[in-house]
Every structure is written in structure tokens, then in C-alpha cells.
Structure 1
Amino acid sequence: MNSKISFQDVVKTFPLKGAEFTALDRVSLEVADQEFVTVVGPSGCGKSTLLSMAAGLQDPTCGRVLVDGTPVTGPGPDRGVIFQQYALFPWLTVRQNVEFGLKLAAVPTQERRHRADQAIGLVGLDDFADALPKALSGGMKQRCAIARAYAVDPQVLLMDEPFGALDALTRVQLQDQLLATWSREKRTVLFITHDVDEAVYLASRVVVMAARPGRIHRIIDVDLPYPRTEEIRLSADFRQIRNTVWTAVYHQEHAAPAA
């Protein structure tokens, strides 16, 4: 497998009440170029910590995180990060929010406008390019955040429960739109979620994590064709994989990690 993201024996510890808390324990994972991988697991299993290290926002205590074979030492334009909170600037329009990272990178005005409009079109916000965030619904704000990440042309998208605060219908609509955009652009996606159905619907592989300490419990292949459709979501094959993932997440044996 041609790895785009590589976690190699990653350990992450934090001080806690005078002791040491192990958030991640010897996590190794390879994510292939252009692959869509979801990570799901119980609360406290270290999902977001794993993504933060790939983003360069946290350093591993031990082990290494690599992108394209190069150790991650901090944030970079090759990785776009999308969080659950939209983090839009309320005084900037949709286009200005999307252009923000390009402006910081000193991209010339004309090219900046072109790339921003292209990203806005990808997420279907053409008619709202000049609107302020207060005029947008929650789903539209998240689409704006996704467009901002796409505008800087990252090779990797790191998404930390980006649809977690949305209502069920909007969430499904954005899942479909994200997959449609991914099918055209073919970025590598690492997507954190607590929703089993979402994990299965989006991914080619689901990584199930166990908590305390955080570690990989099981990796489950999603042998369902793309594009994903409502018919697939309602199929017996989907239900079977979903049940497998559900069992792996919520019925884990409380055993000590392997030595």
C-alpha cells in the first residue's frame, strides 16, 4: 500500500493529577493515498488526539507520524483540517472566509479569487458567496469551512466530527456532498466520528478504537461500491457491516492491551 499518512507506534501521554495519563498506546496505522478512512470508538479513545497529531497540532510522546514519508513537525498547507465548530470569521463573507488561508499564503488576488470561487462551487454555495455567516444555516457554514480547506489545495483532509452538531437530514446531505466532492478531487481523508452509520457510509475502511489506553481494536473493510447511495444505505450488506462495526465499538471485551 502506498501510504499517505503513517502512524508508527504512536504513544501520547498527558500529565493528570500528578500522574501520567496514556491517551494513545502504540498506535500504528497506514492510510493510503486517496483513501477515505473513518475512525470511530468510545468516548476517550483518543480519536481526536490521533487526528491532531496528523495535523501537527500535537506531538507524539513516542513514535512518529508521517505524511508522504516525512515526519509531521507542525501544521502545513498539505493538510486541511475541519473541526466540528465552523470557526468562520463573522465579519467576512463566504468568499472572504474561503480566501483567508490563501491571503495568508500571499496568493495573488486574481488567483485567490479563482481558487476560492472554485472551492465554493464544489460545495454548492455559489449563490451565497457574498453572504455573511449569520445568513447561513449550520450546514451551509460547515460547507463554507470545507470550501476553505479545499481552497488551499491540501493533499490530505483531516476531519474531526465535522457533522456532529447538525440535524440528521442536513448531516446525510453533507455526507453525500462530501463523497461527491471526494470522488472528483480524490484527496486522502481521515474522518473522525462517533456515529457508526456515518463511519460505514463514508469509508472504504473503518478503524475501531478502544479506550484507556487508546489503541486500535479492529479495522473493518467496507466492501460497498462508490458512489454511495440511499439504496446502499438501506441494503442488507450495509446493515451487516454496520452491525459488525457497532459490535466492535460497543461490545469490546475489557481486556488489557496486548504486550
Structure 2
Amino acid sequence: MAGGLVNQPKIAVDGVTKNFSLGNDQLVALDDVSLEIADNEFVTVVGPSGCGKSTLLNIVAGLEEPSAGRALVDGTPVTGPGPDRGVIFQQYALFPWLTVRGNVEFGLKIAGVPRAERRARAEHFIDVVGLTYFADVLPKALSGGMRQRCAIARAYAVDPAILLMDEPFGALDALTRVKLQEQLLRAWDRERRTVLFITHDVDEAVYLGDRVIVMAARPGRIYDVVEVDLPHPRTEEVRLSAEFAALRNRVWNSVYHQDDHRTAERTP
């Protein structure tokens, strides 16, 4: 391999600006955002409402086109959705007439994977997310947390190099949310993917991420980048540690006291 490609980022966002038309006006959702994410890195993005977090993810997913700049995966510009990127939204988007197994196998079936192989891969990822005993159950009989685990298994099953997750636990109760955070990290430890995870929850951002990207709103841009040097596996002890609290407080201040910082910078 050529030396210049060894450290090539898995995801690169290069000077991305995104404008939306509002009648005769233009809303600047993202303003000259640049970001690199390494292979197998877990990066979380947090920020105030309206800071362009979901827009950023949609551009990497190929669901939105930037107004300027570009997103790249493995050095290749993103021109649309692709099988190398699995996207998981807050809404589960499961097929209600298919069982857990049927939902997880669906993408493999569309891709023409032979029946025995897709069954084996589905069973593996159903086990990874802890739904083995619910493999033959329809989504209507599952809790919200179980449905989201099924969606995660379905994304994993088609073997994307990248997982793009847009507030996947946002609609869940606090206890279920914590359990799914732990489940997701266990799956990530086993399977290793590059993850871009959007959240509005500071604790979640710190607990999950190798790095936390803090966005600023109006217009959306990167305000701070926080390295998370907490050990893996992430456990309850990690969540309750002084180190976690210090990181959480730094991210919290970056998210919720941006205006205070700007005022201080302008004060002579």
C-alpha cells in the first residue's frame, strides 16, 4: 500500500456548507465544517438544537448534497447512499409483517445472499444484540428498546464499514437508554465499525465516544473537539468515575455555555 494511504481517514468532511431555502431567505445549516474520522473510531456529535448535527450525518450518508465542500469515504467523494454505510434513525423503520429474523435478513435477501448464509449471518447479529429468544417475534410484540436492537442487528448484518446513527436512543426511557448504550458498545467491541453517532445527550456522547464533536448553532459549525481517554470496556464504574465527570462537565460547558464564552472573548 502506498504510504500516503496508510493514515487516510475512513470519513472526511471537507469544508462542507449546507444551505436550505426558506422562501426568499437562505438558512445556513452548516458553515465550512471539516472533520476526519479514523477507521474503527467511535465519534459522537452533540450540540444545541438547530446546530446541523443530523444534516451532517445525512451528507455523509449521501441523503443530502452539500451546497459547498464534500464528504469522502475512503478517499472517494460521497455521491449518494451506499452499502458501505448503514444508517440507523430514531424511528425503528422495521417491517411490521416480518419477524426479528425476517427484518435482519431483509437486506441480505435483497443483496442476493444465499438463504443458508443469510440465516447464519442474521442469527449471529441477533445474538450480538441479545435478541436470540425473540428471533421469531413480530415487532409489535417488542419493546421500544428491543425494536431498536433489531434495527441495529439489521444494519450490522449487511456488513457496512460505517454505522451512521442519528439519535437512535432518543425516544427511549432513561434505563432502557443506558442498557442499549452498553449493548451497543459490546457489539462495537466485538465487531468493530467506524461509527458516527448523533445525540443531544451529553452523558451519552461522553460514554460512547472516542471523541466528542461539539457543534455550535446559527450557523452550524464545530465549536470544540474533546478527546475521551476513558478505558474500554466502558462499565458502570467508568460512568461513575471522576474522570467521566470531568469530561462530562467540559462537554456540558461547551454545549450550554457557548454564548458565555463568546461574550467573554469580546470583553476588553
Aligned equivalents of 1:35 and 1:95: distance in 2? 28
Choose from 41, 49, 74 the match for 2:47: 41
Give the C-alpha shift of residue 223 in structure 1. Answer: 1.4
- Residue deviations 1:40-79 (CA, integer Å, cap 9, x gap): 0000000000001111111111101001111111111111
Residue 140 (structure 1) aligns with: 146
CA deviation profile, 1:136-177 (whole Å, cap 9, x unmatched): 011000000000000000000000000001111110001001
Partner residue in 2 for 1:242: 248
Aligned partner of residue 10 in structure 2, secondary structure: strand
Whether 1:84 aligns to 2:90 is yes
Match of 1:126 among 125, 132, 137: 132
> Any unmatched runs of 5+ in structure 2?
1-6, 264-268
Moved over 3 A (4+): none
Give aligned-pair identity as a percent: 72
Cα distance between partner residues in 1 of 2:114 and 2:81: 22
The whole-number CA distance in structure 1 between the counterparts of 2:120 and 2:72 is 31
Match of 2:223 in 1: 217
Task: Report the aligned-residue RMSD.
Answer: 1.1
CA distance in 2, matches of 1:251, 1:46: 18
Please tell me whether residue 107 in structure 1 is matched to residue 107 in structure 2.
no
- In structure 1, C-alpha distance between the alignment counterparts of 2:147 and 2:70, rounded to whole Å: 34
Given residue 95 of structure 1, which amino acid in structure 2 is its aligned partner? R
Query: What is the TM-score of this pair, normalised by structure 2?
Result: 0.94
| SS of the residue 1:245 aligns to | helix
List runs of 5+ in structure 1 lacking aligned partners. Answer: none
TM-score, normalised by the number of residues in structure 1: 0.97
Give runs of aligned pairs for residues 225-236 of structure 1, distance below 5 A: 225-236=231-242
Aligned to 1:182: 188
Matched, 1:63 2:69: yes
Q: How many residues align?
A: 256
Deviations 1:150-206 (A, max 9, x none): 000000000000000111111000100100110111100000000000000001100
